[in-house]
Amino acid sequence: MSIQKGIDQKIKVKPAYFQLIHTTAYEGPCRLGSGEQLTPEFDEKIGHAKFKRFKETLKTYSDEIEFLEPELLTWTDEFILREEQFKKLSNDVGKADLFLFDGVFHQFPASEISQRFHVPVGVIGCCASTDGVAGLRNAGLEAYGFIDPEDANRQLKLMRTKIALRNTRVLAILKNDVVSKGVLSTITDLQQLTRDLGIQFTFINAEDLFDALRAITPEQEAAAEQIAKDLIDQAEYSDMTLENIVRSTRFYVVIRALLEHYECNAFTMPCFEVCATRKFNDEFRCTPCLVHTLLKEEGIPSACESDLNALVAMTVLINLTRKAPHMGNTHPYASEIKTDESTPSGLELIPEIEDKRNIVSTWHAVQTRKMKGIDGPLMPYHITPFTQAGWGATIRYDFSRDIGEPITLLRFHPSGKKMLAVKAVIVAGAGKDTVGCSTGLYYQVADSRDMFRKMLDFGHHYTWVYGDYIDDLKELGEVMGVDVVTAYPGEFPYE
């Protein structure tokens, strides 16, 4: 059994090219030409040639798109799409996530197919895309328009993220309440979230998790030890004993087995409530931090503190960017004079931020070694305990290595119907040699007060990746039916 990861999900597309066949040779306000160019035979010949080029163009699309067998469909100037043409598509209804159409004056047949099968359709090119899609959307049907094949390729990749969300199954540990007392801004209407985005949930009690940790098999124990040894071998340095690291990798191996058992591909748990049972302190001597890190590196969303807003945002970013995000407590500095009292923060104050305006910090001990690409090389890292007692393995990264790099932060609204996207540039890293959640980074935004006012509607945990993905998120919001609020007025990079 394996975990069906969202990043491995492809969007299945049924492509078809439409050719209009004129029944007789004539000129008029709808067509021009002379001689052979006006015959039905010429229309058929041209249709086959264009269909061949259409199929060649499909080969240039992203490998994130799985094309079903392309079809050449025809209709006539009687303006009827006949049953034999519908039959060419009927076997792929239910298989395809979207039907993709190109051709000449193909808005009419595209509309007929959309209304017959009630499937999402995408229409390429002038002027069928704008005319056909406007008509279909007005009728309440799902339709997308693309300027050209390049635009179609780009937007289909965004739609793949929507498909991945629809196939997300969250394993959530439950203790006391669905809403953790540490994250009151979390999404609470899970049924509405499932209706809107397709994300589903499986809850298990914390006591079941404890039982699974106690019942670890010899094979799981061996796997946990090997993972710990690999972590040590690949690290720049480690401040922990092998035994204490194994306690955390054991937790990871057990969670991964539970994900497989319950056929889930995302994870979260309530840190505060589970911590208060004292089982991690008295019995297991581990924290969930390394679990979150290692799962994200595989492309499996894993969020702290049962924060579903952050988990959904993380799912979006992983699928959109194929990068393993960091998430953490986020707060701006209100005063230009920065002191420990000016803004409560888990990060140490450092000289690099003293003379800079519009500074915001994010900190949590869930950095990953794949923040610059799940498919790329490991980033340099340290292994440091979460606790002063020396247990609770965490991966730590020095974000000062990346001063000047742009980043994109994201969080969903408590309603699940909006997301806040922020563009920033890294100013400094801090806390890499500390314990607890106090490792993170400082970054500069255009207007920290503007960001804070918007955060008051969204909450405090933000997940982020390297790079500028604001425009992609705006378009993705349109595809998903989610409003995108941005907090980046002004020119970038910021002064």
* Residue 1 pLDDT: 64
Are 15 and 58 in contact by the 8 Å Cβ rule? The answer is yes
Question: What is the distance between the alpha carbons of residues 445 and 452, in angstroms, rounded to a whole number?
Answer: 11
How many Å apart are CA 315 and CA 164, to the nearest integer?
8
Q: What does the pLDDT read at residue 105?
A: 78
Q: Both 195 and 79 in a single domain?
A: no
Residue 119 included in any domain: yes
The CATH number given to whatever domain includes residue 13 is: 3.40.50
- The alpha carbon of 438 is separated from its chain's Cα centroid by a whole number of angstroms, namely 25
pLDDT at 489 over 70: no
440 & 294 share domain? yes
Last residue of one domain, picked from the residues 149, 164, 179: 164
What's residue 493's pLDDT?
Answer: 54
Asked if residue 106 and residue 17 are part of one domain, the reply reads yes
DSSP annotation of 176 reads S
Last residue of a domain, one of 123, 138, 164: 164
Does one domain contain both 123 and 63? yes
Cβ distance 55 to 150 under 8 Å? no
Q: What's the whole-number mean pLDDT along residues 321-335?
A: 91
Kind and range of the H or E element at 469? none
Residue at 492 is within a domain: no
| CA dihedral sign, ordered 405, 349, 235, 287 | negative
Among 164, 189, 213, the domain-final residue is 164
* One domain for residues 67 and 112: yes
Structure confidence by residue, pLDDT tens digits, 52-83: 999 999 999 999 999 999 999 998 888 899 99
Amino acid 104: pLDDT: 74
Same domain, 160 and 304: no
pLDDT of residue 347: 78
Question: 305 lies in which domain range?
Answer: 168-486
User: Which pLDDT score is estimated for 49?
Assistant: 96
Q: How many domains does the chain have?
A: 2
- Look at residue 354 in the predicted model and tell me its pLDDT: 83
C-alpha distance from residue 181 to each of 177, 184, 255, 273, 298 (Å)? 9, 6, 23, 8, 29
Q: Are 317 and 466 in contact (CB under 8 A)?
A: no
Q: What is the dihedral angle through the alpha carbons of 468, 425, 290, 286, rounded to the nearest 10 degrees?
A: -150
171-221 confidence digits (pLDDT tens):
999 999 888 888 999 999 999 999 999 999 999 999 999 999 999 999 999
